[in-house]
Structure 1
Amino acid sequence: MHGDGEVEVKRVFIGAGCNRIVNNVSWGASGLVSFGAQNAVAIFSPKTAQILTTLPGHKAVVNCTHWLPTSKFLFKAKELELHYLLSGDADGVIILWELSLVDGKWRQVRQVPKSHDKGVTCINGIMVSQTDAMFASTSSDGTVCVWELVFPLIIGGDCKLSCLDHFSVGSKSMVALSMAELPGDCGQIVLAMGGLDNKIHLYCGGRTGKFVHACQLKGHTDWIRSLDFSLPISIDGEVNNIFLVSSSQDKCIRIWKMALRSSIPDGHGIYMKEETSLASYIEGPVLLAGLASFQISLESLLIGHEDWVYSVAWQPPLAASADGDAYYQPQSILSASMDKTMMVWQPEKTSGVWMNVVTVGELSHCALGFYGGHWSPNGDSILAHGYGGSFHLWKNVGDDNWMTQKVPSGHFASVTDIAWGRSGDYIISASHDQTTRIYAPWKVEASLQDGEFWYEIGRPQVHGHDINCMTVVHSKGNHRFVGGADEKVARVFEAPLSFLKTLSNATLQKSCYSDDDLTNVQILGANMSALGLSQKPIYVQAVHETPDKNGIDGLDTFETVPDAVPTVFTEPPIEDQLAWHTLWPESHKLYGHGNELFSLCCDHKGELVASSCKAQSTAVAEVWLWQVGSWKAVGHLQSHSLTVTQMEFSHDDNFLLTVSRDRQFSVFTITRSGTGEISYTLLARQEGHKRIIWSCSWNAHGHEFATGSRDKTVKIWAVEKESSVRQLMTLPQFTSSVTALSWTGHPDRRNNGLLAVGMENGQIELWNLSYKRQGDGSIVVPDFGAALLVRVDPFICHASTVNRLAWRKNEEDHKSLQLASCGADNCVRVFDVTVE
């Protein structure tokens, strides 16, 4: 991403949550995990717990992703240099992506020709040979498509994609799917699918297509949620059996055995042992596949979960020998359920009865259940994704001791606002998922590893309304921010002691707060209220007086919420801890607006906060000014007739700029008297654009500002001699609505600025603005120039609207800058910008 060799933009961090959809996650033989984040396909590495990239291309929410090869086919992927990923969305579109393992580069190969009219519900595929894969997709339109994909033999070659079959399964749509090659030499593929009619339907077909309905398996009493075929399992040395595991909303898991008929002499033989064992053999239908026939029987019924079982998966094959040529299918199944647990099931050595041998996750009182569980390629880790868009990872560190591991985290709805912390050590983001989150680089002592990785280190607000805006208060003293949600009050939050100590652990600045600073903070953390609106403080003294939990008051009712335990973290916290133990207490509520809050900003001295709300009349569209500290309302600025969409104070705090849906911008002069009184006058109001003005930003070194609009333009204006506003220039038209702007000074040249422009299509561009000043400080119009420096690579940009951009205030290093962004693709991003 070089623009004229002058600027380099690198991904530092991507934070995103997982769409809360069942078949959304896939763990590939590449070792990487894919998941949908709104309309982006995100890729993360479990080794580093970092999201590596997001793939842009879908216009609708991503419902499912599937690797070819998945972790199940690691043994066939040894030689592969290219791996493929399929992603399906709510519009029925399926996209095929290619990853080159050598350099980690992605490319969009093609859109699979339109095969579904409604959302894709499941994609599943198998490797039939080293370079040949088959995959099938189901959709809520009641159709199933089967495809063949031939990998290229050489890098740079093209893969061949051909549709083998496309058939309808009726009005009850299918939501689960699994494919397998049948054992023996029949060359037949079996397709199992299940959904809303509680039955499992088996279809058979050859390698070249045309699948016929073979039989159906009855037994489940509610929707089928997940199906997975094992690879052929050897019983008494004969590899003629294949197993299918199914799970359902009836809370049960069933294991079905499919045995090649010809290998059963007169109906006895290898079954004699089993009939006398507890796994009594229940005869089921016969599956006809080409010339072969398979006897299906119910091998086992696994009961243990207390809620819907959303996913089941066989453990991937393991190497049978050191040279790694022979592989065997372990008899081990992972299930994930809405009861907040994942379980591993294995048959007991002596009786053959399937037992639950591992249970993880039951401690999480906040996860609201798991939507899916996945094995790592070598079977030593298991990953769940949960209702709150969160990941949970456990690793077997030896002797079935499963320990939680770090995972990426982030918002699971549009991220509406973002700001750097007052110290520049962290960023705070606000989202429609009703949380605000804090991300920071967690520095590790240099001897241990290179560099730093970013993690979510706090979740200061977990609310009952969608959060639309927030602003950091820049004054001295404790860290504070103000948040505004779909309610008429703004709320002020103050950092608790536990956060300040965690932050100093993260930044390795043991001295970043003197002990005096920390002793002044009497609040250790905060507790959630039952309705999730006001967060009450937990005081330092109160912690030592532990109330009697077992008394009459100890009864667990719906009104009580378990007490938070404010914690100082010495390593990045995991989901359970974040959601519960990192809240900030609310110190004030700011009442006054007539509608839901829409935007907030704070001045650079940290003395005033401005707020606006959704509005359709002049009276409601007024901007309120609040005094930091006393939190009194000290001003009502009337100018606009519709919602004020963004506001910003000039860098010397003399002006407040507001832009609105009414296509106008206003500049107010703010004057402070020596006694702290505030007065304000409307300096100018002007129709700036032909459509909604979404964003604005001031020049760091003067009284010039930029406005960006839905009309796809950015205009630069100057406040002239403190009395009027004139237009300096209009940048060339952009390809999409301009939704976010942030202007910072150029690191080296005083009369230059860098303007970051974010658009509705997710793209971010950096522009160089250059100018000359006259003696009186005003800018010479002919000498004002704008040049595009760089278009940021789409694979590190957002996949939908950029909602906010924010440059980090950078005092030390003059060459490199950091830019934070957030968007409607649920992502928070941080970029390093190096200016040569």
Structure 2
Amino acid sequence: MERSCFDGGNVEVERLFIGAGCNRVVNNVSWGASGLVAFGAQNAVGVFCPKSAQILTTLPGHKAVVNCTQWLPSSKDAYKVQHAEKHHLLSASADGIIMLWEFHTIERKWRHALQIPEMHKKGVTCLTGIMLSENIGIIASTSSDRSIAVWEIVFPLGINDECKISCLQSISAGSKPVVALSLAELPDDKKNIVLATGGLDNKIHLYCGGLKGKFVHVCELKAHMDWIRSLDFSFPICLDGGTKSILLVSSSQDKTIRLWKLSARGSSTYCDVPYRKEDIGLTSFIEGPLFVAGNTFYQVSLESLLVGHEDWVYSVKWHPPLSKTLSEVESYQPLSILSASMDKTMMIWKPEKITGIWVNMVTVGELSHSALGFYGGHWAPDGESILAHGYGGSFHLWKNVGLDCENWKPHKVPSGHYASVCDIAWSKSGEYVLSVSNDQTTRIFSPWRNEVCLGNRAPWHEIARPQVHGHDINCVAIIKGKGNHKFVSGAEEKVARVFEAPLSFLKTLNHAVLQNLGFEDLQDVQILGANMSALGLSQKPIYANAVSEVSKRMKEEVPDSLEIIPDAVPVVLNQAPVEEQLAWHTLWPESHKLYGHGNELFSLCCDHEGKLVASSCKAQSAGVAEIWLWEVTSWKAVGRLQAHSLTVTKIEFSHDDSFLLAVSRDRQFSVFSIKKSGDEVNHRLITKQEAHKRIIWTCSWNPFCHQFATGSRDKTVKIFAIDSSNHPPSVKQISSLPIFKDSVTALSWLGHIRSSNTGILAVGMDNGLIELWNVSGGTSPSLPFSAAVAKRFDPFLCHVSTVHRLAWSSDEAGESKTMLLASCGGDNCVRVFEVRVN
């Protein structure tokens, strides 16, 4: 959790939660000696703690998608920096920019240390680095511009010193890009470094150079039949007597892993050369190439071929070196390799004790229905945990819980969307936040009360994934009013879909909030969960008696009985779920489809009584831009409201449900009066006004009266009021906030003190920043409307791209001085803030 700086002195903001998925890029994740995991989340660098399964922060600064992260010191150097006060993190993005961040372990604070001079013209594809001493590191970066840059970083020893970086060399990689790098000090030679590169030419290239650069291409290793995807050098190992060697492990899209040995063969005098480098004979083929580094000859030989994966092997990592004793700085290299593949598995390889043949000792992940393959695998610094990140933006963590033998069990990790989050909504009573995204999923985030983390607060987790769809989802509305939990979602299709909470979720929610929520109909809910259809468009209910019926048919050996076995196994969760449970066993059944719109859905809202839902779609004409009204119980269309000529971007009911406000791309807003009488709904257009010079993206009602705010691409927020004393009622502008620094894309109005019409207006912008404004008055000439900035969120708390939606957990704060504000944005993040008014 982080606290924002104080601006106005009367409002304090604390971030409670970040939900975000990992960019679907190889080399995107790094587990450092600090014990923290860094990853790219759209343009931000996310950092999470594996122990608490919480994302601690996101680091803003990159203008393009983050492709790579690399800790310095890395997990390989953990044994010698156990008490370091500062750790550093490198991040690189698709525009070629590399940044260095500083993390203070005691104060738990982050600082942007520097931006590395721009050397790459295209996106960076890989970063690697080693520590030569306590404060000097060597890093290498490569890009799709087919260049490799080698850098020296000098970290500060004093309090006021700054990091210094210098480019030692730029190496041309040839005609095909490089996507894998690894650096190591040569065995028994602290003055020379070896750099291994691999990429699209199917070869491994070795370069040797000194501590100040001057890397020379010394040999190439030909064995793989497809692109090289990952390379990793081991710590020096004593093999075959007392000679120290280093091992290089490589993986490829040819589904294989190869193990290479680099060992010293003597001094570089002519008589010591076993054969000349230019000789191409049987000896050279069997023993491998020779190269010179400093005054020593080194032999490269292929040690092993590891075959076991059934798809591309994206990642191989050596087990981090471990200290020999707690007091010694010396370390040893465990002979253990972790591989991650697109075949949905991670494997741990070790040599057999008797034969020395490398075999697969552990396999995890093979039962995962949702992973869709792993892009990378990583060891914890102590080697007792392994982490994978997958095609679906998800993390998967296993811990070794065995005593006498290895026993790897899945553990919870942070989760979230891996594409832009378009909309969020709070549940009726504020127990959870529901979000929808272009990653085609709907997710529910909630605090889990029986866990306690820093500050005696319940940590937030994703507790359900109600909808996994075949289209990008644009909007959502939770059905308010009495009854079971329901929501309506709209995607890039012409149909709105209605979902109802199954019994398994209702019981899980009771476990999460540690109280009986009083669902009167728990006994009547017969639907246990839902199954996904083949095309991912409809979710069919699983009834409570379905499992027993299937078991009975299985015993009777009914032909084709496998076709009726539910793919999902809905379960009641009594602790925060892991990814495999979320992706397959927490679906909600779809109860209705709402047909009527001519294009893909864009906006949804529900009235406060839970009786009407309004929807709009993308439109280029007045006929298509209609707002449809749906009756909640029958789900019949009961109204088609015409006012706009282009897409209606946001719709919202007033707090008393007597008005419906709509804003549009045509720069106009419209207000309709809504009257319900029995089964009929009467609506009438009160006004339509051009309010802004550019697209109006957002709007929000004052919970205490008929005032509303509109926000636009023209960087303005305007306040309007409805005068109901006129017949018909009239709408006039009563105020305009000062021009903002960027387009206003999200608004949410919280009522605080009814007597003075005082509240807080949350404003989200296209640049990801959020501001809170104190607003009051405007209900009479003697009490004019006033607005003043209460808080500008620290950029480290905010999104790094467009804020799509802001939502308070309740329309009115009442007597409470603590409120929750949720936000979502184009940076794939869902965030929850605690706002305290002093």
TM-score, with length taken from structure 2: 0.95
Note the aligned Cα RMSD (angstroms): 2.1
Aligned residue type for 2:184: A
Q: How does 1:549-698 map to 2 (within 5 A)?
A: 551-554=558-561, 563-673=567-677, 675-698=678-701
In structure 2, C-alpha distance between the alignment counterparts of 1:739 and 1:284, rounded to whole Å = 61
Partner deviation per Cα, 1:772-806 (whole Å, 9 max, x = no partner)? 533xxxx657x211111111111121011000000
Distance in 1 between the 2:222 and 2:100 partners?
Answer: 34
Shift of 1:156: 3.5
Shift of 1:365: 1.9
- The letter for the 2-side match of 1:817 is M
2:717 counterpart of 1:714: yes
Partner in structure 2 of residue 253 of structure 1? 257
Structure 1 counterpart of 2:199, from 181, 184, 195: 195
Query: Structure 1 residues 763 and 749, CA, compared in 2 at 3 Å: closer, same or farther?
Result: farther
Equivalent-residue separation in structure 1 for 2:205 and 2:680 (angstroms): 76
The AA in structure 2 aligned to 1:790 is K
Query: Which residue identity is paired with 2:695?
Result: I
Alpha-carbon spacing, 1:639–1:448, altered in 2? closer, same or farther (3 Å): closer
What corresponds to 2:825 in structure 1?
823
Residues 126-154 of structure 1, C-alpha deviations (whole Å, 9 max, x = no match): 00101000101000010111111001002
Q: Which residue of 2 aligns with 1:274?
A: none
Q: Which shows bigger deviation, 723-732 or 818-827? A: 723-732
Q: CA deviation at 1:356?
A: 1.0
Q: Are residues 662 and 498 of structure 1, via their aligned partners in 2, closer, same or farther at CA, if it must alter by over 3 Å?
A: same
1:705 aligns with 2:712: no
| Residues 426, 223 of structure 1: alpha-carbon distance in 2 compared, 3 angstrom cutoff | same
1:333-384 deviation per Cα after TM superposition (whole angstroms, max 9, x unaligned): 1000111111111111122111111111111122111110000001100000
Q: How much does 1:676 deviate? A: 3.3
Where does 1:223-302 land on structure 2 (aligned, <5 Å)? 223-235=227-239, 238=242, 240-262=244-266, 282-302=286-306
How far apart in 2 are the matches of 1:801 and 1:203? 43
Aligned residue among 454, 461, 466 for 1:460: 466
Determine the structure 1 residue equivalent to 2:279: none
1:439-464 C-alpha deviation (Å, 9 max, x unpaired): 10000177999320100010000000
Deviation at 1:45?
A: 0.2
Which residue number corresponds to residue 474 of structure 1? Answer: 480
Partner of 2:790: 789
Which amino acid counterpart does residue 785 of structure 1 have in structure 2? S
Whether contact under 8 Å (1:144, 1:166) holds in the other structure is yes
Pair 1:451-2:463 in alignment: no
Match of 2:277 in 1: none
Partner of 2:21: 17
Matched, 1:756 2:734: no
Separation of aligned partners in 1, 2:60 and 2:566: 41
* Cα pair 2:38 2:47 within 8 Å, conserved: yes
CA change 1:6–1:561 in 2 (3 A) is farther
Deviation of the 1:110 alpha carbon? 1.7
Distance 1:429 1:447 in 2: 24
Structural mapping, 1:148-163, within 5 Å: 148-163=152-167
Distance 2:170 2:267 in 1: 33
Compute the displacement of 1:104 (Å). 1.1
| Structure 1 residue 553: Cα displacement | 1.7
Asked whether the 8 Å contact 2:243–2:264 carries over to 1, the reply is no
Compute the TM-score of the two structures, normalised by the length of structure 1: 0.95
| Equivalent residue in structure 2 for 1:513, among 515, 518, 523 | 518
Is 2:836 the partner of 1:834?
A: yes
- How big is the shift at 1:76? 2.9
Match of 1:730 in 2: 736
Letter in 2 for 1:806: A
1:185 positional shift: 2.7
Q: Is the 8 A contact 1:444 1:451 kept in 2?
A: no
Q: Deviations over 1:524-563 (max 9, x none)?
A: 111100010011111123232125457542568xxx9962
Q: Which amino acid aligns with 1:703?
A: H
Take 1:56 and 1:612, find their aligned partners in 2: how far apart are those partners? 34
For these two proteins, the number of residue pairs brought into alignment is: 815
Per-residue deviation, 1:811? 6.2
**2:322 corresponding residue in structure 1:** 318
Distance between the aligned counterparts of 1:30 and 1:703, measured in 2?
53
Measured against aligned partners, the alpha-carbon deviations of 1:406-450 in whole angstroms (never above 9, x if no partner) come to: 100000100000000112100100000000000100001779993
Aligned-residue sequence identity (percent) comes to 65
In the TM superposition, what whole-angstrom CA distance separates every residue of 1:224-265 from its partner, at most 9, and x where no partner exists?
Answer: 000000111123663521110000001110010000111899
Q: Given the alignment, which residue of 57, 60, 69 partners 1:56? A: 60
Q: Is the 8 A contact 1:281 1:299 kept in 2?
A: no
Task: Give the 5 Å matches for 1:1-150.
Answer: 1-150=5-154
Match of 2:188 in 1: 184
Contact 2:511 2:573 in 1 (8 A): yes
Query: Is 1:422 matched up with 2:424?
Result: no
Q: What letter matches 1:712 in structure 2? A: K
Cα distance between partner residues in 2 of 1:356 and 1:98: 38
Q: Secondary structure of 2:623's match?
A: coil
Q: 1:342 to 1:264 in 2, by over 3 A?
A: farther
Structure 1 pair 561–57 and aligned structure 2 pair: CA distance change class (3 A):
farther
Closer, same or farther in 2 for the Cα pair 1:451/1:95, shift >3 Å?
same
- The match for 1:363 among 367, 384, 388 is 367
Aligned to 2:280: none
Give unpaired runs (5+ residues) of structure 1.
270-279
Please tell me whether the aligned partners of residues 76 and 127 of structure 1 are also in contact (alpha carbons under 8 angstroms).
no
Following the alignment from structure 1 to structure 2, what is the Cα–Cα distance between the partners of residues 56 and 741?
Answer: 22
Opposite residue 640 of structure 1, the aligned amino acid is H
- Deviating 4+ runs (over 3 angstroms): 236-239, 263-269, 445-449, 547-552, 747-750, 810-813
Deviation, structure 1 residue 492: 0.4
Q: 2:530 aligns with which of 526, 551, 570?
A: 526
Give the aligned residue type for 2:505.
F
Residue 340 of structure 1: aligned partner: 344
What CA distance in whole angstroms lies between the structure 2 residues aligned with 1:175 and 1:551?
A: 52
SS at match of 1:519: helix
Alignment of 1:198-213 (within 5 A): 198-213=202-217
Q: How far apart, CA to CA, are the structure 1 residues paired with 2:778 and 2:494?
A: 45
The amino acid of 2:719's aligned partner reads I
Tell me, in whole angstroms, the C-alpha distance in 1 between the residues paired with 2:602 and 2:335.
55
- Provide the C-alpha distance between the structure 1 equivalents of 2:191 and 2:681, rounded to a whole number of angstroms: 83
Counterpart of 2:378 in structure 1 is 374
Show the counterpart of 2:441: 435
The CA deviation at 1:112 is: 1.0
Residue aligning to 2:747: 741
Q: Are 2:486 and 1:483 aligned?
A: no
Amino acid corresponding to residue 441 of structure 1 in structure 2: P
Q: How big is each residue's C-alpha offset from its partner over 1:15-46, in whole Å with a ceiling of 9 and x where there is no partner?
A: 00001111000001000000001111100000
Q: Displacement, 1:721?
A: 2.4
How far the C-alpha of 1:325 sits from its partner, in A, is 1.9
Q: State the distance in 2 between where 1:711 and 1:561 align.
A: 55
- Distance in structure 2 (CA, Å) of the matches to 1:358 and 1:281: 33
CA distance in 2, matches of 1:553, 1:794: 58
Unpaired stretches in structure 2, ≥5 consecutive residues: 275-283
SS of the equivalent of 2:288 reads strand
**Residue 390 (1) aligns with residue 394 (2):** yes
Kept after mapping to 1: 8 A contact 2:417/2:829: yes
Which deviates further from its counterpart, 380-389 or 561-570? Answer: 561-570
Query: CA separation in 1, counterparts of 2:190 and 2:329?
Result: 23
Native 8 Å contact 2:419 2:438 kept in 1: yes
Code of the residue aligned with 2:747 in structure 1: it is: L
Aligned AA (1:512): L
Residue matched to 1:805: 806
Residue 621 of structure 1 contacts residue 643 of structure 1 at CA under 8 Å; is this kept in 2?
yes
Q: Which amino acid aligns with 2:699?
A: C
Deviations 1:75-112 (A, max 9, x none): 23234211111111111111111111111111111211
